């Protein structure tokens, strides 16, 4: 059996199972597009947001890329953020990294100009800025994991610096940005930093 046939068969079984449990499930899902949060995470297949936080279909607006980067120059990132905040009026944004991230490791070890290395260059730049702290960590795994934490905090700050977030706060629109990291080995999420809920709390964070 081909891979695509397996996918289609699984999809059919999944849809039939949901309809047997709730015949109106898909009709209600089609009528309701009101996500509770925007999830900016890593493309790693082991980090699935709906499973990590137990939310049903339709409750999470998702953007994923290598090393969960919110790149200020990337139209994809900016368009997702703008649509989430200005159109869907999503009140909570989660940036979620994970320990053992290959993208973070690539930022530390990579030296070529291949697309992946170009994409993770902001993480490499962050590592250079934090070289004193990272130099004190001798274990390579611990160093990668610490950089993963620093990267989450950095991406939270990037979102908060954006004109999209700043404008939302200026007009009084509820918006909170959270930084989490996921431990693949035990399935648990951990806060990396305090949540940012206003322009004032962001300024206090950067002072």
DSSP, residue by residue, 49-91: HHHHHTPPTTSEEEEEETT----TT-HHHHHHHHIIIIIS---
Annotated active-site residue in 42, 77, 96, 160: 42
Q: Is 129 a catalytic residue?
A: no
DSSP run (H or E) holding 188: strand 188-191
Q: Is 101 a catalytic residue?
A: yes
Question: What does DSSP assign to residue 98?
Answer: E
Q: Which of 153, 152, 134 is nearest to 142 (CA)?
A: 134
Annotated active-site residue in 63, 77, 96, 101: 101
Q: Is 63 a catalytic residue?
A: no
Q: Is 124 a catalytic residue?
A: no
Q: Dihedral through CA 55, CA 60, CA 63, CA 64, nearest 10?
A: 0
Q: Residue 71 burial by CB count (10 A; 0-12/13-18/19+): exposed, middle or buried?
A: middle
Annotated active-site residue in 63, 98, 146, 157: 98
Q: Which of 165, 153, 142 is nearest to 190 (CA)?
A: 153
Q: Is 12 a catalytic residue?
A: no
DSSP, residue by residue, 135-162: HT--SHHHHHHHHHHHHHHHHHHHHHHS
Catalytic residues: 42, 44, 46, 98, 101
């Amino acid at each position: 059996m081909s891979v695509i046939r397996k996918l289609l068969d699984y999809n059919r079984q999944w849809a039939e199972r949901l309809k047997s449990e709730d015949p109106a499930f898909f009709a209600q899902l089609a009528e309701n597009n009101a996500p509770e949060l925007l999830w900016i995470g890593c493309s790693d297949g082991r980090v699935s947001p709906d499973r990590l936080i137990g939310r049903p279909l339709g409750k999470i607006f998702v953007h994923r890329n290598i090393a969960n980067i919110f790149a200020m120059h990337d139209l994809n990132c900016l368009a997702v953020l703008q649509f989430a905040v200005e159109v869907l009026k999503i009140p909570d944004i989660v940036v979620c990294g994970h320990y053992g991230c290959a993208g973070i490791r690539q930022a530390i070890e990579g030296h070529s100009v291949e697309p992946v290395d170009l994409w993770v260059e902001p993480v490499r730049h962050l590592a250079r800025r934090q070289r004193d702290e990272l130099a004190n960590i001798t274990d390579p795994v611990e160093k990668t994991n610490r950089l993963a934490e620093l990267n989450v905090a950095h991406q939270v700050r990037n979102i908060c610096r954006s004109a999209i977030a700043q404008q939302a706060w200026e007009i009084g629109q509820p918006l909170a940005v959270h930084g989490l990291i996921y431990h693949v080995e035990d399935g648990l999420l951990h806060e990396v930093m305090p949540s940012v809920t206003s322009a004032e709390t962001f300024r206090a964070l950067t002072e």
